[in-house]
Amino acid sequence: MEYFAHETAVIDEGCIIGAGTKIWHFSHIMPGCTIGADCNIGQNVVISPEVILGKNVKVQNNVSIYTGVSCEDDVFLGPSMVFTNVTNPRSAVNRRGQYERTNVGRGASIGANATVVCGHDIGAFAFIGAGAVITKTVKPYALVVGNPARQIGWMSEFGHRLNFGESRTAVCPESGEKYVLENDQVKKL
C-alpha cells in the first residue's frame, strides 16, 4: 500500500488514494472518491462518493465532505467544518442525484466549524474564518468571516492580511511577494 490507513478507518472499494496520504482513526472513505497524494485525513472524517481532493489537502478532525465537492491542491479544511450538497433537504423527499457542486480553489483555507452551503465556490487562496457560513461565491484571496459570511479584506498566499494603499499594491510580510488590487480582484505580481 502506498498510503497509510489506521486500522479503524473504513475504506470502501473503488477509491483512488494517492501515495503518501494518511487516513486516521474512525474515518470513512466511500466508493468512487479520489484523494490525491500526500493528503492528511484526520479522525472521524467522512468523504462521500465522487468527492475529489487534490494533492496535499489537509482535512482536520470531524469534517464531512459530501458528494459534489472538489478541493484543488493545498486546501486546508479546519476541524468540524462541513459542506452541504442539497439546497432544500427534506427527510421525506429523495433528492439523490440533485447534488449541487462546490469547488474549493488551490491553497484556500476554511476555518474550524465553518459551513459551506452548496453551489458556492471558494476561490484560490481564499481564507474563510472560523464559524463562517458561506452563502455566496468567495473570490480568490478574499478574507471572509461571519454568518452569513462577508468579505472584510484580502489574504496573501502565505495567509497574511494584505493592506492595499493608494497605489493599490500590497506586500506579504512573510514571503515578500507583491499583490495588486484591480477591479475588486487581487492578483499576485
Per-residue model confidence (pLDDT) at position 64: 95
Q: Are residues 52 and 14 in the same domain?
A: yes
Q: Is residue 49 domain-resident?
A: yes
Which residue range is the domain that position 19 belongs to?
A: 1-87+98-155
Q: What does the alpha-carbon distance between residue 17 and residue 136 come to, in Å, rounded to a whole number?
A: 31
Q: Is residue 6 domain-resident?
A: yes
DSSP 8-state symbol, 90: B
Three-state SS string across 31-69, please? CCCEECCCCEECCCCEECCCCEECCCCEECCCCEECCCE
pTM of the model: 0.95
Mean pLDDT for the stretch of residues 118-147: 98
Per-residue model confidence (pLDDT) at position 39: 98
Contact 52, 33 (CB under 8 A): yes
Q: Evaluate the CA torsion angle 117, 35, 20, 24 in order and state its sign.
A: positive
Q: What does the alpha-carbon distance between residue 144 and residue 40 come to, in Å, rounded to a whole number?
A: 25
Q: Are residues 10 and 38 in the same domain?
A: yes
Q: Are residues 117 and 183 in the same domain?
A: no
Residue 143 has pLDDT above 70, yes or no: yes
Return the C-alpha cell found at 112.
474550524
Q: Are residues 77 and 149 in the same domain?
A: yes
> Per-residue confidence at 23, pLDDT binned at 50, 70, 90?
very high
Q: Is residue 17 domain-resident?
A: yes
Q: What does the alpha-carbon distance between residue 121 and residue 115 come to, in Å, rounded to a whole number?
A: 12
User: When comparing pLDDT for 68 and 87, which is higher?
Assistant: 68
Per-residue model confidence (pLDDT) at position 98: 86
Q: Is residue 53 domain-resident?
A: yes
Contact 111, 75 (CB under 8 A): no
Residue with the three cell numbers 489574504: 155
Q: Is residue 93 domain-resident?
A: no
Q: What does the alpha-carbon distance between residue 120 and residue 29 come to, in Å, rounded to a whole number?
A: 24
Residue 165 has pLDDT above 90, yes or no: no
Q: Is residue 31 domain-resident?
A: yes
Q: Are residues 54 and 77 in the same domain?
A: yes
Q: Are residues 66 and 30 in the same domain?
A: yes
Q: Would you call 14 exposed, middle or buried from its count of C-beta atoms within 10 A (0-12, 13-18, 19+)?
A: exposed
- The chain-wide mean pLDDT, for the chain, equals 96
Q: Are residues 131 and 189 in the same domain?
A: no
Per-residue model confidence (pLDDT) at position 97: 82
Q: Is residue 184 domain-resident?
A: yes
The structural domain count of the chain equals 2
> Per-residue confidence at 178, pLDDT binned at 50, 70, 90?
very high
Q: Are residues 106 and 186 in the same domain?
A: no
Give pLDDT tens digits for 108-130: 999 999 999 999 999 999 999 99
Q: Is residue 92 domain-resident?
A: no
Q: Are residues 168 and 145 in the same domain?
A: no
Burial 93-108 (b: 16+ CB within 10 A, else e): eeeeeebeebbbbbbb
Residue 2 has pLDDT above 90, yes or no: yes
CATH of the domain at 33: 2.160.10.10
Q: Are residues 187 and 102 in the same domain?
A: no
- Short-list 149, 176, 173, CA closest to 161: 173
Give pLDDT tens digits for 29-64: 999 999 999 999 999 999 999 999 999 999 999 999
Q: Are residues 184 and 109 in the same domain?
A: no
Residue 87 has pLDDT above 90, yes or no: no
Partners of 39 in beta bridges: none
Q: Are residues 14 and 33 in the same domain?
A: yes
